[in-house]
Amino acid sequence: MLRKCLSSILLATALCSGTAYAGDVRFVVPPYSSETEPFFKEVEKDFEAANPGINLVLEFTSWETLNQKLTTDIAAGSPPDLALIGTRSLTDYAAQGVAEPLDAHMTPAFKEVFIESFFSPSMIDGKLMGLPFAASARAMIVNKELFEKAGAKPPTTWDEFMGAARQISKLPGTYGFGLQGQGVEVDAYYFYALFSFGGRILKEDGMSALNSPEAIAAAQSYKQLIDDGATQPTPTSYGEAETFALFKQGKVGMVFTFPMLIPQIKKEAPNLKYEVLPIPVKTTSATYGITDTLMMFSGAKSKDEAWKVIEFLYQDKYRAAFDEREGLLPVTKAVAASDYYQKDPDMKAFTALLPVAHFAPLIPNFDQIADITVRALQRVYLGEETPEVALNRAATEIDVLRKK
């Protein structure tokens, strides 16, 4: 094999590339949790049994390397047929003309499967460029026991939230609020406050709104909590996993989180008494929502077969299994109406927040904009810069990218 490949390199040919044949549907899937791979493998088995002659090839890759993998595949001229992507990346793909518009494939009956509002993030220039696949809205989870011990009341307003955080921190070895200051979602953790303060990510004209008074005030309030000792010390060493670990240990009173944390708590800290509540309100009732999109590539080799996979995957049976196992919110009507999402109090609380959820804007270069935002926030949390200075500079840097 090696010798063969070596000679092929010498000839600069692509003898060894790709193993896709007609009838193969290549589907790139970034796993959400350890449940994702088993789930898709079951789908693969069922699908191939139901559709002899079509071979579903699953390619698992981490969220971290997802865009890189797709980028290379596209650049190398062999894009997959289907991929699951963060909706915020869809613009990049649509703008480069590599996303396949799906309108032609949609039948009225299939359209009926979805909750209508989830289509809007995937509409680009009036065309449907992808299908909603996963959704999550964030909420606050509180440790009821710690609130009782501290004599505090679970907050509904931002000021109550600040007060409760301080009060709980007075308990020994306990912190009121778990603030994530490291990792991929530092910006998301700040957006909760930003939206609650009535701020936004981008202004009407598409430029950064991080230098708005609301944005600065929101960062100021987080910084205040750090200075008051109402968060865990040195938030900048706490990523997603570490912050939530604190909550599972019963060491913090409140965290902002996604539904996926619930099954983890049930498994790892079954005795923890928790409650899911809306994000506290400063001026606006809001939360941060994230959607993921299933897209088809315009360079796909087997579009009709790929569409069969899509239709297969959106059967209620699979949708319900996927949403429940991953702890995600439903995007289809049937699953939303199911007992699990109607009766389970935790899921109900999360689902109730969907109407007020703000989603990440669909803009190019989002990864880099996120990096600039995270850097500014970390400087604020570390006390290296004031919120004004850090966020003003971040806004300037982002505007340079936006103007490109």
Partner 1 sequence: MRERVSNPILLYPGGPAKAGEGGLRGIFRMFRVSRAFWLILPGLLLTALVIGLPILILIWTAFHEVSRFGVLLSFNGFANFADVFADPLFYAALLRTIVWTAAVVLGTLLLSLPVALILNEDFAGRGFARLLILLPWSVSLTMTAVVWRWALNGQSGLFNHLLLQLGIIDTPIEWLGTAPLAFTVQIAIAILVSIPFTVTLLLGGLSSIAGDVYEAGAVDGATGWKSFRHITLPLLKPFVNIAIVLNVIYVFNSFPIIWVLTQGGPADGTDILVTYLYKLAFKFGQLGKASVVSLMMFAVLLIFTVVYAALQMRREEA
Partner 2 sequence: MGLFTRSRPIRSLLCWLLLAPLIALNLFPFAVMLSTALRPRDEIFINPQRWLPSRLAVENFSDMWTSVDYGAAVLNSLYVAAASVALVLLVGIPSAYALSRYDFRWKRKYQLFLLITQMVSPIVLALGLFRLFVWLGWIDSLDPVAIVVAAFNLAFSVMMLFNYFSTIPRDIEEAAWIDGASATTSLIRIFLPLALPALSVTAMFTFVEVWNEFVITLTLVRSSEHFTLPLEVHALASNLYELKWHHIMAAVLVATLPVTVLFMWLQRYLVGGMTAGAVK
Residues at the interface with partner 2 (CB under 8 A): 1-2, 5-6, 8-9, 12-14, 16-18, 33-34, 59-65, 68-69, 72-73, 75-78, 173, 183-185, 239-242, 244-246, 248-249, 251, 260-261, 264, 268-269
**Interacting partner of 10 out of partner 2, partner 1, none (Cβ under 5 to 8 A depending on kind):** partner 1
Rounded CA separation 80/26 (Å)? 5
- State which of positions 1-40 bind partner 1 (CB under 8 A): 6, 9-10
Tell me if 68 contacts partner 1 by CB under 8 A.
Answer: yes
Task: State how far the Cα of 223 lies from the Cα of 210, in Å rounded to an integer.
Answer: 16
Closer CB to partner 1, residue 249 or residue 342?
249
Are 357 and 171 in contact by the 8 Å Cβ rule? The answer is no
* Element at 256 (helix H, strand E): strand 252-257
Contact 43, 75 (CB under 8 A): no
Token representation of residue 369: 């904009």
Among 74, 115, 336, 363, binds partner 1 (CB under 8 A): 74
Please give the DSSP secondary-structure letter assigned to residue 356.
Answer: G
In this structure, what token pair is assigned to residue 331? 């995007």
**Alpha carbon of 12 to those of 223, 288, 352: distances in Å?**
56, 48, 57
User: Given candidates 181, 253, 278, 327, which one binds partner 1 under the rule CB under 8 A?
Assistant: 181
Residue whose C-alpha is closest to residue 351's, from 363, 362, 339, 361: 339
Q: Residue 101 and residue 94: Cα distance in Å, rounded?
A: 9
Using CB under 8 A as the binding rule, whether residue 172 contacts partner 1 is answered as: no
Among the candidate windows 16-24, 260-268, 293-301, 376-384, which touches partner 1 by CB under 8 A? 376-384
CB nearer to partner 2: pick between 151 and 173:
173
Contact region with partner 1 (CB under 8 A), list: 41-49, 105-113, 156-164, 362-370: 362-370
Cβ-contact 274, 154 below 8 angstroms: no
Q: What does 237 bind: partner 1, partner 2, none (CB cut-off 5 to 8 Å by kind)?
A: partner 1
Long-range Cβ contact pairs of 199-204 (< 8 A, separation 24 or more): 200/358, 201/358, 201/360, 201/361, 202/361, 202/363
| Minimal distance, residue 300 CB to partner 1, in Å | 16
Residue 254 CB, nearest approach to partner 1 (Å): 17
Q: Which amino acid is at 173?
A: G
Q: Residues in the site for partner 1, rule: CB under 8 A?
A: 6, 9-10, 68, 71-72, 74-75, 92, 96, 98, 181-182, 232-238, 242, 245-246, 249, 251, 364-365, 367-368, 371, 374-375, 378-379, 381-382, 384
